Amino acid sequence: MTLPQEAIIRSLPVFDDLRAFLGWLEAKGELLRLSEPVKLCHEMTAVQVAALRAGGPALRFDAAMQTDGTRAAMPVVANLFGTPGRVAAGLGLTRDQIDEFGAFLASLRSPAPVDGMRDALSRWPMLKAALLTRPQIVRRAAVQQVTAPLDLTRIPVQTPWPEDAGPLITWSVAVTRPYGSEAAQVARYNLGVYRAQVLGPDRLILRWLAHRGGAAHARTWARAGEPMPVAIALGADPATLLGAALPLPETVSEIVFSGVLRGARSELVAAKTVPLLVPANAEIILEGWVHPDDTAPEGPFGDHTGYYNSVDRFPVMRISAITHRRDPLYLTTITGRPPDEPSVIGEVFNDLALPVIRAQIPEVRDLWLPPAACSYRIAVVAIDKRYPGQARRVMMALWGMLAQFSYTKMVIVVDSDIDARNWDDIAWALATRMDPVRDVMMIDSTPMDYLDFASPREGLAGKIGIDATTKIGAETTREWGKVMALTPQDEAFAAALLARHLPVRP
């Protein structure tokens, strides 16, 4: 497949850092500066939630207040990706270019064979994208302008919800590598967005689940009996933030991939006290070590499910250095019952991932992960159905294809004439094309997010697949009904007639 060059041409400037993105947002009227005092404890959460639900701008709190009543030493930025348009902008795209960019990313994963010189030249956009994945190592970096005291309490970290255990860093981009790798081998790095509970001036708890890249790297260091170097970038550029949140294959490094997203090579600099390369243009870098078996009880904290999670033990990071810009900004977010910022990001990632899914399951026409269902617990799939049993094959393919679908506990499959993103259409398909005995598939004891309190056992739960497609062949012994529809000509006639006689609605 030869993709049009415009599929990867950015409509927007390259955002080298968070400040460049904020400046662009402010010029567009998409950044609100708040000079009124706002408490880091709970008040800031209320403002973020209200702004996001109103489709409001990114927020900059210039008078964030600590729990002791003092003003924070730096401004706080929130609701950065609070609308799908701003998520797309973070990738340098408009909202309507996401589908094309997703198709381009799918082609990078499985490029078609080159057919002659003309075809080879048409692939230049792909070659350019591949070159952009090579990071540039710099000797001096803005994020190392100041080496700060080892005191995390100087950073204005929110305590988001009333029953939270304490201050929680939420937009932390953790940089790790496996044991046996070298600091220069950035292709083996992992970037992960993990929340981090502040335990004291120089200690954090890193909440990474067992299937995440950071946890996998930690196991390699623990088996060797060695402490693992970790760096946390706070306030990274949009491409690094979104690249760290993307559900990429385990073999793809987020640092490497962020060059494609950014449209420019990543700039990295050697950390001061740990053998890692870190984002040179971030606002703040926390450096430190995770020692084997050094854990602490984390939580409770409000989570994306809309519930407080239970307390569990996670690794402790001992801080060895804090560096930042001369006038740093602190980036934060909150998670809660959708809509929240992660669910907005998930909405865009849904469209970005669709071409990759189609490449693996060609009959898929659309796939929707309803944000209200915590962005991944329920999937609705529209397919071009051609043979009996096809809906069940699609269910099993989804559950087994990508790691994030292992936590999807309900898959509803509908025909391509159904709008998979419209609950009314979905309800009609369920009511008229699904029999509860014949068309429901149940699976027991499958992996599940341990935060799912509905699961009978922690980490294990059932899955349900519902076939709400038209039944064909051996799937039924009855003649299927015919869907009623007016002709396009009659609908056009009615629209024109009413347009002449009814007032125009504003």
How many degrees, rounded to 5, is the angle at CA 405 between CA 10 and CA 193? 55
Active-site option among 303, 351, 415, 449: 303
Q: Which residues of 417-445 are buried (b: 16+ CB within 10 A; e: fewer)?
A: ebbbeeeebbeebbeebbeeeebeeeeee
DSSP per-residue codes, 317-330: EEEEEEEE-SS--E
DSSP character string of 183-242:
TT-GGG-EEEE--EEEEETTEEEE---TTSHHHHHHHHHHHTT-PEEEEEEES--HHHHH
465 in helix, strand or coil? strand
Is residue 286 within 8 A of residue 319, CB to CB? The reply is yes
Determine the residue type at 168: L
CB-side neighbour CA atoms (13 Å) of 253: 19
Contact 312, 299 (CB under 8 A): yes
The structure tokens listed for 335 are 């998670």
What gap in Å lies between CA 15 and CA 161, rounded to an integer? 32
> Three-state DSSP class for 440?
strand
Q: Where are the alpha helices (DSSP H) in 337-406?
A: 341-360, 390-401
Give the total residue count for the chain.
506
The alpha carbon torsion through 128, 133, 139, 141 (nearest 10 deg) reads 100
Residue by residue, DSSP assigns 46-87 as: HHHHHHHHTT--EEEETTEE-TTSPBPSS-EEE-TT-SHHHH
- Report the first-to-last Cα separation within the chain, whole angstroms: 44
Question: What tokens were used for 268?
Answer: 């990295």
Residue pair 212/192 in contact (Cβ under 8 Å)? The answer is yes
Q: How far is CA 304 from CA 160, 314, 452, in A?
A: 12, 19, 10
Largest CA distance in the chain: 80
d(CA 492, CA 465): 39
Q: Does the active-site annotation cover 419?
A: no
Instruction: Classify residue 103 by burial, with Cβ atoms within 10 Å: 0-12, 13-18, 19+.
Output: buried
Give the whole-angstrom CA distance, residue 469 versus residue 86.
35
| Whole-angstrom distance, CA of residue 212 vs CA of residue 404 | 10
Active site residues per annotation: 303
